[in-house]
Amino acid sequence: MATIVPSTTYPDGSAISVAGHNANIYSTTSGEGIFSEPNGGIGVVNLGASFSIKDEHVMSEEATMARMDSSVIATDIYNNAFGVRDDQDASYVPIAGLSERVFFPYDMSTVIWQWSFFVAGWIPYLLQYQTGNWDTGEAQFRLFIDGIEHSAFRRKLPISGDLVIDWADTSSSPTEYELQYSGGTSINKEQNETLWFDISKLQKNVSKGYHELVVKLYLPRVVFSGEEDELTVQAGTADFATNGSEEDMIECTVHQRVTLGTRNVRCIAFK
């Protein structure tokens, strides 16, 4: 729009210019009409020298917006609770409370995603007593935004279970493992390794529409030294019941566990 220039200034002693008066009020010609020009035509040139956009001028959520979703329900996730997936699919199980779906009604110049979670994992370090062979469990948190993984945000957990295993039989070709350090205390350091993750990611030039952040957990089965089968050990029943004994052995499978406490996801978007 141009600035408004009056078509007539109604000079004294002259008849009113009908066309001029009408153009002063409404015109389809740019630069005319005190009714017509403000009909969507006010632009930068019309702003006063001291004009600046103030906070109350801006419609709510038309410049910035923020969302947060969360869960504070403690959740234990065991690798065998997923069902067995032999394909070792890297994009695994979404975690409740660590996902958020947001609608942007217009293109955003900058979007900040933040996700936080408290986690206590039981991730084993496995050592075979006589051979020195070792292996570790693994838990991976993976970030997906709009279905695409962002690998710089993969996170793992510390080793928290020390699991020493012995041959359970003395034959020349032993086939079974025995849990050597039993009783829980010496194999469990999860209490020391509870952690808080707070991670931020920035995206630029995000188009309008729905966008979704999902943190997924990859928690594979525990195998040992390249074996195909899930690790099983012999453990004394005393580990599981007060009236058990160290001598009475029971077959156990070894799994991994991830316990999640408070978690939340934030999305802060800037036009």
Partner 1 sequence: MSYQFPKRVLRTGDVLNPRDLTEDFAPAADLVSGKLNAHNFNQTLGSPSVTVDRRAFYSVDGVLTTPVPFHWTGSTPGAFGYPDDTTIDAGMFQLQNNFEWQALNTSVLDFSVALTTGTAVLWINAYVQYLWFGFNPAWGTWSQNVLTNQHRNYASQSPVNLQFALRVNGNVVEETITGIDDITYRASVPIKPEDPSAYAGLPGPQDLLGRQISSLGPACLPVRLGACVPVQPGDQLVEVVCRRVPFTDRAYGSFFPGYGQYDVVFMYSRQIHVTELKMFPVDSVTSVEVSAPAFSDEAPLSQATLYTQRLQPIVSAYNSIDVGSVQRGALTHSQVPSTLLDSATTEQLYATDAGPIFNNYFPGHNDDTVTTTGFSGAPGTGWKLITDASNNNPVRITGFTVTDKCQILVLANLRVRNISALLEQTSGDETLYAGNFAAFALFKLMWQYSGSGPTTWNGVEASTGMVNNFVWWPRYDVNSSPIGAVTGPNLQAGIENVEVALMAVLDFTATAPTGPINLGVFGSVANDGTNYQISAGNIIALAYR
The footprint of partner 1 on residues 101-120 (CB under 8 A) is: 105-106, 109-110, 112, 114, 116, 118, 120
- The site map against partner 1 for 37-76 (x = CB under 8 A) is xxxxxxxx-xxxxxxxxxxxxxxxxxxxxxxx-x-x-x-x
Half-sphere exposure of 225 (CA within 13 A, CB side): 11
Rounded Cα gap, residues 199 and 79, in angstroms: 24
Q: Assess contact for 144 and 213: CB atoms under 8 A.
A: yes
Q: Among 88, 148, 152, 172, which residue interacts with partner 1 (rule: CB under 8 A)? A: 152
Adjacent-strand bridge partners of 199: 115
Q: Considering only residues 85-104, where is the footprint of partner 1 by CB under 8 A?
A: none
Q: What is the closest distance, in whole angstroms, from the C-beta atom of residue 229 to partner 1 in the complex?
A: 13
CA dihedral 6, 7, 11, 15 (to 10 degrees): -140
Q: Assess contact for 206 and 269: CB atoms under 8 A.
A: yes
Q: Which residue, 119, 96, 113, 143, is CA-closest to 265?
A: 113
Q: Which secondary-structure segment (H or E) carries 103?
A: strand 93-104
Q: What is the closest distance, in whole angstroms, from the C-beta atom of residue 267 to partner 1 in the complex?
A: 8
Residue 1 interacts with partner 1 (CB under 8 A): yes or no: yes
Q: Considering only residues 202-241, where is the footprint of partner 1 by CB under 8 A?
A: 202-204, 232-233, 235, 237, 239-241
Closer of 151 and 171 to partner 1 (Cβ):
151
Written as six digits, the tokens of 213 are: 């952040």
Q: What is the closest distance, in whole angstroms, from the C-beta atom of residue 131 to partner 1 in the complex?
A: 6
Q: Among 83, 132, 147, 226, which residue interacts with partner 1 (rule: CB under 8 A)? A: 132
Q: Among 30, 125, 144, 145, which residue interacts with partner 1 (rule: CB under 8 A)? A: 125
Q: Considering only residues 2-31, where is the footprint of partner 1 by CB under 8 A?
A: 3-6, 9-12, 16, 18, 21-22, 24-26
Closer of 19 and 212 to partner 1 (Cβ):
19
Q: Which stretch binds partner 1 (CB under 8 A): 170-178, 209-217, 251-259?
A: 251-259
Rounded Cα gap, residues 177 and 234, in angstroms: 6
Q: Assess contact for 154 and 143: CB atoms under 8 A.
A: yes
Q: What is the closest distance, in whole angstroms, from the C-beta atom of residue 91 to partner 1 in the complex?
A: 14
Q: Which secondary-structure segment (H or E) carries 74?
A: none
Q: What is the closest distance, in whole angstroms, from the C-beta atom of residue 86 to partner 1 in the complex?
A: 19
Q: What is the closest distance, in whole angstroms, from the C-beta atom of residue 217 to partner 1 in the complex?
A: 14
Radius of gyration for the chain, computed over Cα atoms and rounded to the nearest angstrom: 34
Q: Which residue, 141, 143, 184, 138, is CA-closest to 163?
A: 184
Q: Which residue, 172, 174, 179, is CA-closest to 237?
A: 179
Closer of 18 and 84 to partner 1 (Cβ):
18
Q: Among 89, 101, 103, 200, which residue interacts with partner 1 (rule: CB under 8 A)? A: 200
| # of chain residues touching partner 1 (CB under 8 A) | 137
Q: Assess contact for 78 and 243: CB atoms under 8 A.
A: no
Q: What is the closest distance, in whole angstroms, from the C-beta atom of residue 94 to partner 1 in the complex?
A: 18
